[in-house]
Amino acid sequence: MKEISDELAKGKKLGDEVEGGILVGIKGYGKTTDGSAFVKALGESAQTSEGLAKNAKRFEDLKNIQDLATRNAKILQGGKGVARDPNFRKNFFNMLEDYGLKISENAKKFIAVHHIAPNFLKGKEVADFITKMGYNIDAVQNAIGLPRIDLNLLDDAIKGLDESIDMLKNTQHLESIKTTLKLSDDVDIKELRRIVKELEDAKTASVHAVDTYHPEFNTMMRQNIERLASDFDNLIASGVSQTKAIESYKPIFDNLINTTVNDLLNGIIKL
């Protein structure tokens, strides 16, 4: 398996692709500040659908939903980061299953996550240390931040889907949506209704029980990384050159990051 730290050390950051698809990507149907890709897809399809003039009110509603998604995405960006594609972490959905939340392939396309990235990583000493170890600070935040389903954007997706189901009865429109969202061929109105129900259930799943900053995990990471950063500076203070100190600490830090990410991937670190 390719070492995650290799990718991070190359300066990969949010939005970059990496081999294996573990790290990153506002791709697929993750959300960006432009709003929900799903809602956007609906909007775009609506503009090309026949019967647009007859149903102006519905399309106006769609625009409002998109505005809502955009607003929520901006709020998230200011507060807890931009939501992203859950597939950045290869077994995110396996982890959800461990928590009793099984989601169908179709419903997965409507889910976005965002990370609770520990603030201590932004502290000057820690950030300097991470940079000296050759890592991109944003990439480290993404790698060890804990993902959680974004409930605000899930609400938007449900609302967008629910309010649009009647309109989607138009066969041409439904085909367009299916193509855009890469939904399977057997998706019909009934399936869309089932997805809405599934997403509604996901909102109340126990995986959302921890709605704080995951203090247990964050404290553990802070203690481990801060100690390395502090010892790195102590080593230099003892007369060792920075180059030699980096040579000594880089393999140790690589190991810490790889262990952490692998433990997260394999569910060894419990949320």
Q: Which residues bind other proteins (CB under 8 A)?
A: 118-120, 123-125, 210-216, 218-220, 222-224, 226-228, 230-231, 233-235, 238-240, 244, 248-249, 251-256, 259-260, 263, 269, 271
Work out how close the CB of 136 gets to other proteins at its nearest, in angstroms, rounded to a whole number: 20
Work out how close the CB of 7 gets to other proteins at its nearest, in angstroms, rounded to a whole number: 19
Work out how close the CB of 217 gets to other proteins at its nearest, in angstroms, rounded to a whole number: 8
Question: In this structure, what token pair is assigned to residue 52?
Answer: 């647009």
Compare residues 137 and 165 and give the one whose CB is closer to other proteins.
137
Compare residues 184 and 241 and give the one whose CB is closer to other proteins.
241
Work out how close the CB of 56 gets to other proteins at its nearest, in angstroms, rounded to a whole number: 43
Contact partners, residue 237, CB within 8 Å, separation at least 6: none
Work out how close the CB of 6 gets to other proteins at its nearest, in angstroms, rounded to a whole number: 16
Compare residues 125 and 200 and give the one whose CB is closer to other proteins.
125
Work out how close the CB of 218 gets to other proteins at its nearest, in angstroms, rounded to a whole number: 6
Compare residues 171 and 238 and give the one whose CB is closer to other proteins.
238
- The number of beta carbons lying within 10 Å of the beta carbon of residue 74 is 13
Compare residues 118 and 160 and give the one whose CB is closer to other proteins.
118
Compare residues 170 and 213 and give the one whose CB is closer to other proteins.
213
